[in-house]
Structure 1
């Protein structure tokens, strides 16, 4: 306590000349305690913000890992789809095609949610930066008051430059925040996507899906045989006419 009062004696001359020396010492001591409590509260708030920021970024990375897992499972389902087509199992191929599309949609949704959480983390980061900038500005204001009392214009100009730079840094960081992205969830794969994926897998495997061909095209071999028989009959009739 004696050391605190001894250090305060250096600032006694800066205070207005009112009251006794003890009153002024108590005033300085109370002011120092108030500043210390505010600084301690500031540190607690910053620690809480940093903790929230860490949790948000961890969640975003976890969602990104889930997206990669779904992408891997999508590739596995496509491989199973191709194998089912080679074996001629149309129903099994349908199931694997639906699974592949569902995993693709899940991967996209995980990525969208990860980006959304990244946007929230950016807002938390900006809030933490604003806290730091606010504290910095408070120090600049106090230093500026001291410079104004001494009428040191060069010092005031330097402090104003610092003050404006704090605002510019905050504006740059705020401008980099991205808007929230809406996440959509699809449970059932559209049939046209399933058919398109099946056809794509069949093309890569060099297979022909005869079950999708129209009935007229399927019966084409029989029609060709009938056409050959008709030609043979015409040839016989022409040969008989020549003999006559």
Structure 2
């Protein structure tokens, strides 16, 4: 299972690199498009525009796939963590049985402390993994945060949003603008 996790992580990185290549190729096509437009080459402009759109679509599809692979890798990591916890808890239960049979209170207390520590560790690991899974799945992002980022980026760069994005309401307070 750990080999699968490693393969998933490597696949995700490979897909991310491929998406970056597509971005570069898209930018090259856009530059060619600008040159063709200024030179008045209508046919060339259409070809370059078509290529740019195709590369953008390819990049988005690859990025989505990378995100999905990353989410699966996080789930595999959670499963591995849970296996380790179950193994540790099994060992602890055996230790508790031995301690109970001998009725050594110090040993029982030490085993119980270890058992409680494992539960605390499990809570921390589970919280971390839930955060990682939430961070890797693009579809789980709150829409209002996405809208705020789009609006903020457009405002910072002085860009005009198209009609579909223009309906985003800019919040009165942005967290990184607090003084």
Tell me the equivalent position of 2:4. Answer: 52
User: Structure 1 residue 92: deviation in Å?
Assistant: 1.5
Q: Structure 1 unaligned runs (5+)?
A: 1-48, 183-244
**Secondary structure at the counterpart of residue 40 of structure 2:** coil
Map of 1:46-195 to 2, 5 A cutoff? 49-175=1-127, 176-177=129-130, 178=133
Instruction: Tell me if the contact between 1:59 and 1:117 (Cα under 8 Å) persists in the aligned partners.
Output: yes
Change beyond 3 A, Cα 1:172–1:108 = farther
**Structure with greater Cα Rg:** 1
Uncovered stretches (5+) of structure 2, i.e. residues with no partner: 140-179
Are the aligned partners of 1:113 and 1:181 in contact in 2 as well (CA < 8 Å)?
no
Residues in 1 aligned to 2:12 and 2:89: alpha-carbon distance in whole angstroms:
33
The 1:130/1:148 distance shift into structure 2, 3 A limit, reads same
- Bigger drift between 99-108 and 114-123 goes to 99-108
CA distance in 2 between partners of 1:156 and 1:110 (Å): 54
Q: What TM-score results when the alignment is normalised by the length of structure 2?
A: 0.66
What CA distance in whole angstroms lies between the structure 2 residues aligned with 1:148 and 1:159? 10
String of CA shifts for 1:154-184, please: whole Å, max 9, x gaps: 33223223223323333333343326556xx
5 Å-filtered alignment, 1:208-227, equals none
TM-score, normalised on structure 1? 0.50
Rate the CA distance shift 1:143–1:167 in 2: closer, same or farther, 3 A.
Answer: same
| Aligned residue-pair number | 134
State how far apart, in whole Å, the 2-side matches of 1:113 and 1:181 are.
11
Q: Distance in 1 between matches of 2:121 and 2:59?
A: 36
